[in-house]
Amino acid sequence: MPCLFFFVKSDKYYFEQQLEPFKESSIKRCQGGCSRNKGERYQGLSKKNYDKYQQKVLNGEVKGKNKRAVWNIPTSPFRGAHFAVYPRKLIETPIKAGCPEGGLVLDPFMGSGTTALVAEQFNRNWLGIELNPEYAELAQERLKNAA
């Protein structure tokens, strides 16, 4: 199972909470209100706190819900010689969550350069390490073509 690690040097580090938009049904539920029983059980909130939450959703103060731990991201084709290319969408969330604009993204297994491409797309610096010269050349070519 793939894992992502966020390494930091100090107790004070950058993390930007990633949100996914509410479904239309969630907005409608907030507009209609909830009965006391549902409100008391909703996300562990009391009815009073749930009512406050509903108002924040309806006023636009709450932009979405926490991004889920399991992401459904479709695969995307790649015609290069690398066998383990992942879709750009897969790395967008971790880069935006764990690195501020102008920060540094480290990819210790650079492969075809997908992480570097996405880092550049979101105005992050990157450092890639790749031992296989063929893959390093593939990544350089891919980055050059994207620029």
pLDDT score at 125: 97
Per-residue model confidence as pLDDT tens digits over 20-35 = 888 888 777 777 765 5
With a cut of 60, say whether residue 1 has pLDDT above it. Answer: no
Q: Which structure tokens are listed for 142? A: 């891919």
Give the C-alpha separation, 65 to 94, whole Å. 16
Q: What percent of the chain has pLDDT over 90?
A: 29
pTM of the shown model: 0.68
Q: Are the beta carbons of 54 and 30 closer than 8 angstroms?
A: yes
The torsion of the CA quartet 139, 142, 144, 147, rounded to 10 degrees, works out to: -130
pLDDT at 39 over 60: no
In 6-119 the beta strands, taken as DSSP E runs, fall at 19-20, 65-66, 104-107
* Residue 117 · residue 105 · CB < 8 Å: no
Mean pLDDT over all residues of the chain? 81
Q: Where in the chain is the domain with CATH 3.40.50.150?
A: 88-146
Q: Tell me which DSSP letter residue 54 carries.
A: H
Strands (E), 45-97: 65-66
User: Contact at 8 Å (CB) between 103 and 124?
Assistant: yes
Length of the chain: 147
According to the model, what pLDDT value does residue 16 have? 84
105 contacts 123 by C-beta, under 8 angstroms: no
Q: Which two tokens stand for residue 19?
A: 């949100």
Backbone angles phi, psi at 116, to 5 degrees: -65, -40
- Statement: residue 124 has pLDDT above 60: yes
Task: Encode pLDDT of 48-89 as tens digits.
Answer: 887 788 888 888 888 888 887 777 666 666 666 666 678 888
What class does CATH assign to 88-146? Answer: alpha beta
